[in-house]
Amino acid sequence: MTLPIFLLLVILVIALLLFTFEWVPPDVTALGVLVTLVVLRLVPLEQAFAGFGSDTVMLLLGLLIMTAALMRTGVVEVVSRKLLHFTHQRPGSLLPATMIAVGSLSAFINNTAAAAFFLPVILGLSQRAKLSAPRLLMPMAFAAILASSVTLVGTSTNLVVSGLMTQAGLPPIGMFELTPVGIPVLVSGLLYMFFIGQRLIPERPAPQNLTETFDLRPFLAEMRITPGSALAGSTLEQSGLGRNYDLTVLAIIRAGQRQLDPPAEAVLQVGDVLLVEGSSEAILKIKDIAGIDIQADVKFSDQDLQDGEMRLAEVVLLPRSPFIGRTLKGLQMRERYQIQVLAINRRTGVIYSKIASTRLQMGDVLLVQGNHKQIAAMQAENAFDVLGVVETQRFNRRQAFKVGGIFVGALLLGSLNLVPLPAAMLLGALLIFVTRCITPDEAYRLVEWKVLILIGCMLALGAAMKSTGAAEFLAKGLAELVGSWNPLWLLSGFFALTVLLTQPMSNQAAAAVVIPVALQTSLELGLNPRTFAMMIAIAASTSYLTPLEPACLMVYGPGHYRFLDFVKVGGLLTIVVYILAIILTPLLWPL
């Protein structure tokens, strides 16, 4: 083992740990890997940054811009109307209809975008049809992932694999090269979810309102300002209830009139009743202050927290949200947006205290109180999606048909090899700008730049694996260990390794780590490297065992799932995908 190989393997182990535990965002980890490779001279400078100008990144950039245009033309409302109309008299058809619709869309746009596209639609439809949302949301997320292998552009992971294959001297993946495997995987997965999977999802009674959903009642209290209280005559800001006691004043009730979301300059008076939210410890602490009387046995409902203008809403943070990684204090949520966050629901539990200093994560579901117009305006800025509400934006038929035509035309140009695929995607993006279907500013706000940075950096890691000889070193060791195995067992081993790595890591990172070693191992054993590349492309999209895949993470909170729900339902689905992949992959790309 040479020193460059040793250093690269150390960097790889550290990167795997950072990707797994996400102490820093994955794109930051990838950027750190790239910089370290350059500083230690483990990869030539021209190769280090070549990934950002590669066919893969340019193709993905064009695709993301066109996807942004599809999302902004009001198609969600049309799709939801069509689904509602189709399933109005047949509630039992809502599940297969939504899975087919999501799977069809996800075959041509990023699966995370497809899941985000349908999340509010499915919740709205489930409420209207009075069906269980958990029985719909997990199948919807799985349908989006299942379609990843139908086309090259179904997921950015396929593009990463294709780019790494090009680096290794192999032809890139064709637009529909994966389709003979992808369609059987999609159809089998949908049938599994309809006949078996949905029955494995526990039926948990849905709470009747949002205060019950977030179990907020134990954290709400009414406190009356009595004569002699030090708070009388002071403003809310001067009272220190938030600063000193971590209490949020949601309403002031005075002479029977309730003022929701009172401003910081509101002056408190004797006899005022304050509706406050905070931890039980904070409420008990305030009880000991002279001049404050805590009202006992008060029952609260959503009506206490909303009126004609003010409303309660559940909102989910999407992958593109500018709020991710920020704190509410840093965002100045109340001062800038006139929105109060009452609780945060994430897969580790509901957060009630120290909310202002909690860093927001993708998939967090926030219980917010605010003016309904302001909530709608922030949703339009793509900060979050309001759950349980089918969007009411006006459908721009002309622009939508333009975007749809440009998107289909770009796919046809690329898939028929009339124009190189990356050029076809960028041409589509250019035409969308020229026809003013979406402005460049809107498109750039919606593009997931984190994905582009991650992919560009991980392509550099693939180049380093080759230039240092690390891929060859690992492949030789693996070839000596399994040289006498049946090639199908080796193929299965790489499938299992990739599936395991995709659970804690991003799919793109997992593929970038495994592909160089798999390709070199196949060459060492005299096998077809393309077979291994295709198997890993399929395995990297088999992310059903945990809710850590972005499409699953988005439905985790709204569906009120538990971690083991994904293990139970996704475990059998993973086996179904593996059986199909191990049969079809060697047939289509012989070993």
Domains of the chain: 217-299 (3.30.70.1450), 310-386 (3.30.70.1450)
Residue in this structure with the two tokens 């200093």, named with its chain if needed:
357
Mapped onto helix, strand or coil, the DSSP state of residue 264 is: coil
Q: Which two tokens stand for residue 465?
A: 């694996």
Q: In angstroms, rounded to a whole number, what is the distance separating the alpha carbons of residues 534 and 7?
A: 29
Mapped onto helix, strand or coil, the DSSP state of residue 515 is: helix
From residue 181, alpha-carbon distances to 115, 195, 492, 578 in Å are 22, 21, 16, 11
Q: Which two tokens stand for residue 483?
A: 């040289």
Closest CA to 149 of 453, 488, 537, 528: 537
- Can you state the percent helix, strand and coil of the chain, rounding each to 5? 60, 10, 30
Q: Measured in Å, how far apart are the chain's first and last C-alpha atoms?
A: 30
Q: In angstroms, rounded to a whole number, what is the distance separating the alpha carbons of residues 497 and 76?
A: 37
Instruction: Provide the pLDDT for residue 536.
Output: 94
Is beta strand 349-351 parallel, antiparallel or unpaired with respect to 220-225?
unpaired
Q: In angstroms, rounded to a whole number, what is the distance separating the alpha carbons of residues 6 and 470?
A: 8
Question: How many helices (H) does the chain have, and how many strands (E)?
Answer: 28, 10
Cβ neighbours, 10 Å, residue 549: 26
Residues facing residue 327 across a β-bridge: 359
Cβ neighbours, 10 Å, residue 343: 22
pLDDT in tens, the chain (591 residues): 788 888 988 998 898 888 777 788 788 888 999 999 999 988 888 888 888 888 888 888 888 888 888 777 766 556 666 766 676 656 678 889 889 988 988 888 878 878 877 887 787 777 766 777 888 899 999 999 999 999 998 888 998 899 889 988 899 999 999 999 999 999 999 999 999 999 998 876 655 555 555 555 556 777 888 887 878 888 888 888 877 777 788 888 888 787 877 888 888 888 888 888 776 667 767 766 656 777 655 555 555 556 656 777 778 887 777 788 888 888 877 777 778 787 888 866 777 777 778 888 877 888 887 777 777 777 766 667 777 554 444 456 678 788 888 988 998 898 888 888 889 989 999 999 999 888 888 888 777 788 788 888 888 888 888 788 888 888 788 777 776 678 898 899 899 989 988 887 778 888 888 898 899 888 888 899 999 999 999 999 998 988 878 888 888 878 888 888 999 999 999 999 999 999 999 999 998
Judge whether 25 and 450 are in contact, CB under 8 Å.
yes
Q: In angstroms, rounded to a whole number, what is the distance separating the alpha carbons of residues 78 and 401?
A: 12
Q: What DSSP character marks residue 45? A: H
Q: In angstroms, rounded to a whole number, what is the distance separating the alpha carbons of residues 456 and 450?
A: 10
Half-sphere exposure of 322 (CA within 13 A, CB side): 12
Name the pTM for this structure. 0.77
